[in-house]
Amino acid sequence: MIWLNVVVQGVLVGGFYALFACGLSLMFGVLKVINLAHGDMAVVAGYVAVFLTPHLHISEVWSFLVVVPIFGLLGYVVQRTLIQKSIDRDPFTTLLVTFGLSVVIENLLLEIYTANGQSVNIGTLISKSWHPASIIYVSYVSLGVLAVAVVVLGLLQLFLSRTGTGRLIRAVADDREAAQLSGANYRHVFGIAAAIAFATVALAGIAYGMMTQFAPTSGGVNLLFAFEAVVIGGIGSLWGTLIGGVALGVAQQFGAHFNPEYQILAGNLLFLVVLAIRPQGLFGRRTALS
Amino acid sequence: MSDVLLDVAGLSVHHGQLCAVDDVSFSLRRGEILAMIGANGAGKSTLLRTIAGLHKPSSGLVSFDGADVAKLSPNRRVRLGISLVPEGRRLFSSMTLEENLQVGAYRARRGPFDIARVYELFEWMPGRRKQSVWQLSGGEQQAVAIGRALVANPKVLLLDELSLGLAPIVIERIYALVPEIVAQGVSILIVEQDVAQGVAVADRVHCLLEGRTSLVGTPADLTSEQIDHAYFGADLRHAVPKEEADE
């Protein structure tokens, strides 16, 4: 029963990792850009939800209704200006630019909001949980985040496979030049992909603020977990990202069960094992490497 | 409406220091098939890719339907009616046959071609439309690439090395479709390494040698010696050993 609880807790946190990681996966798959400021965007979304949306007389719980669309728009604009400019120079520049963006964001947040931990206030919901068996507690918030992750990934999958715009995104990811020859304006398609990535990471940032506390520097460690989830699951596979997130979460919970210090170590070990045995990830296509 | 659909004047294209296309001029009339022939590295593909908008010319003009298109992006040119079937097919490998065609049709112009029409043209396609394109043979993939370009309803179809890596029987079948496509009012510019194939299907032939025009004419007017000479260059005769040349 103890082990069942470990798995349950791992799956719950894995849902959050997947929600956090799907935008990173999309940006990498379509734009071939590793957005090192991805985690910081989530943190910014958290701060916006905590400090700015109350001015609009929206309670923090519902802040995502405003923050997510704004971040979608922001993603499109940042892509069409900053990131596209760096893609046009060379791929390495995108790493430098997004790393710089990350540093700027963290320090601006420290300057404005100090290093104090913040969280999104959801009232008494935070302490409520479902108690199906003697030692298994399923937090409603975590369960909600897992559900949101599954719904978001499902909608994204439908969008990519069933709509014209979604197919265009996949076409650009497969072969940018051939997509242009089929009439796609790849910069616009990049913008749409970045909009989705920013919107989903904003949702993840707010979810994080509901589950626990965040500070200006919380982005980095979450980016690392998101990156691991993407690599474990396989680049370019959304459900792979979910499985990757869950696998990472379960590994971390197993580690933590033996000793809290082993939590992150166990996750990193899983990541290394997958890289060594199946570098394309659990659900990745081998061709993605060539 | 002018008789000339595509007009290329004094076009030069550089890859860094290398001059791939050097001061090439030609025009393509409506409903015409022009074959651009030449050896490996003669600049044929670069020329085609420049017309499609994938390379920037270092000098010269590309006008299409009377308008200067030299500054337009490839996707804008597709909307105007220039579609390229790129060398090596370049299908979307994560997608099914039908999805590849759907991408081509998404921003398509109005015209006679749609996915259903392509399925009529290639009768084997409907039964396999849900298959991943990597499960198709090379010839079938080439057909999908042509279909993907056709559904955009181009006024001019640029075909780059259709025959590359395909069996002769397959090449023959694909070229057999060319008259049907032209019958729909599409002009065709073919780039071919396989001279016989290019000459057989074309109304006019334009030969490139090291980036420059070496021969222009209709297949009926050109002798095979002329074509060989234009294809390989004058150096070939110099390569003949002196004793033999004296005999």
- Give the per-residue pLDDT at B241: 54
Q: Are B54 and A179 in contact (CB < 8 Å)?
A: no
Q: B33-45 pLDDT, tens per residue?
A: 999 998 888 899 9
Map tokens 């998404």 to a residue.
B106
Both structure tokens of B61: 């003009």
- Structural domain of A101: 2-289
Identify which of A234, A263, A271, A185 has the alpha carbon closest to the alpha carbon of residue A29.
A234
User: In the predicted model, is pLDDT for residue A219 greater than 70?
Assistant: yes
First to last CA, chain B: 57
Paired with A207 in beta bridges are: none
Mean pLDDT of the B58-62 span:
94
Tens-digit pLDDT profile for residues A28-49: 989 999 999 999 999 999 999 9
Report the 10 Å Cβ neighbour count for B54: 18
Distance between CA atoms of residues B46 and B44, nearest Å: 5
Backbone torsions φ then ψ of B167, nearest 5 degrees:
-70, 150
Q: Looking at CA atoms only, how far is residue B81 from chain A in angstroms?
A: 10
d(CA B131, CA A287) in angstroms, rounded, equals 17
Please give the single-letter amino acid code of residue A277.
I
Report the SS3 class of residue B22.
Answer: strand
Under 8 Å CB pairs connecting chains A and B tally to 76
* Cβ pair A35, A161 in contact under 8 A: no
Q: How many domains would you assign to chain A?
A: 1
pLDDT tens figures, A123-171: 888 888 888 877 888 999 999 999 999 999 999 999 999 999 999 999 9
What's the pLDDT at B243? 54
3-state secondary structure of B167: coil
pLDDT category of residue A286 using cuts at 50, 70 and 90: low
- Give the pairing of strands B187-192 and B212-217: unpaired
Please state, in angstroms and rounded to a whole number, the distance separating the CA atoms of residues B154 and B78. Answer: 7
Q: What are phi and psi of B96, to 5 degrees?
A: -80, 170
Q: Is A234 left (phi over 0), alpha (psi -120 to 50) or beta?
A: left
Domain harbouring B203, CATH code = 3.40.50.300
Q: Residues of B numbered 143-162 whose beta carbons fall under 8 angstroms of chain A's beta carbons: which are they?
A: 148-149, 152
Q: Please report residues of A whose CB lies closer than 8 A to that of B90.
A: 175, 177-178, 181
**Residue A126 has what pLDDT?**
80
**Is the Cβ of B91 closer than 8 Å to some Cβ of chain A?**
yes
pLDDT digits (tens, 9 = 90+) for B208-232: 998 898 888 898 888 888 888 888 8
Those residues whose C-beta lies under 8 Å from the C-beta of residue A134, and which sit 6 or more positions away, are: A1
Q: Is B244 a residue whose pLDDT tops 70?
A: no
The CATH number of the domain holding residue A174 is 1.10.3470
Q: Would you tell me how many other CB atoms lie within 10 Å of the CB of residue A163?
A: 12
Q: Would you mind telling me the total number of residues written for chain A in this entry?
A: 290
Is the distance from CB of A175 to CB of A64 less than 8 angstroms? no
Q: How confident is the model at residue A289 (pLDDT cuts 50, 70, 90)?
A: very low
List the alpha helices (DSSP H) in A175-237: 176-181, 186-211, 218-233
Q: Which amino acid, A87?
A: I
* Averaged pLDDT for residues A178-198: 96
Quickly state the pLDDT bin for B82 (edges 50, 70, 90): very high
Q: Taking a C-beta distance cutoff of 8 angstroms, is the pair B180, B12 a contact?
A: no
Question: Cα angle vertex A225, ends A221, A230, to 5°?
Answer: 145
Look at B78 and A183 and tell me if their CB atoms are within 8 Å. yes
The pLDDT > 70 percentage for chain B reads 94
- Of residues B86, B106, B148, nearest to A164 (C-beta): B106
Mean pLDDT over each residue of chain B, to the nearest integer: 89
Residues 6+ apart with CB under 8 A from B231: B37, B38, B39, B195, B207, B209, B214
The angle at the Cα of B58, spanning B55 to B64, to the nearest 5 degrees, equals 65
- Looking from the CA of A282 toward its CB, the CA atoms found within 13 Å total 20
Count of structural domains, chain B? 1
pLDDT > 70: percent of chain A: 98
Number of helical (H) and strand (E) elements in chain B, helices listed first: 11, 10
Residue B188's H or E segment, with its range, is: strand B187-192
Looking at residues A275-280, what average pLDDT do you find?
Answer: 91
- How far lies B131's CA from each of A169, A259, B90, B100, in Å? 20, 49, 16, 11
Domain range enclosing B36: 4-246
Which pLDDT score is estimated for B119? 96
The count of other CB atoms within 10 Å of the CB of residue A134 is 7
pLDDT of residue B245: 46
- Tell me how close the Cα of A288 comes to any Cα of chain B, in angstroms: 10
Q: Is A88 on the interface with B (CB under 8 A)?
A: no
Spatial contact of B118 and B101, defined as CB atoms under 8 Å apart: yes
CA gap A207, A139 in Å, rounded: 13
Per DSSP, which regions of chain A are E strands?
129-133, 136-139
Alpha-carbon distance A173 to nearest alpha carbon in chain B (angstroms): 9
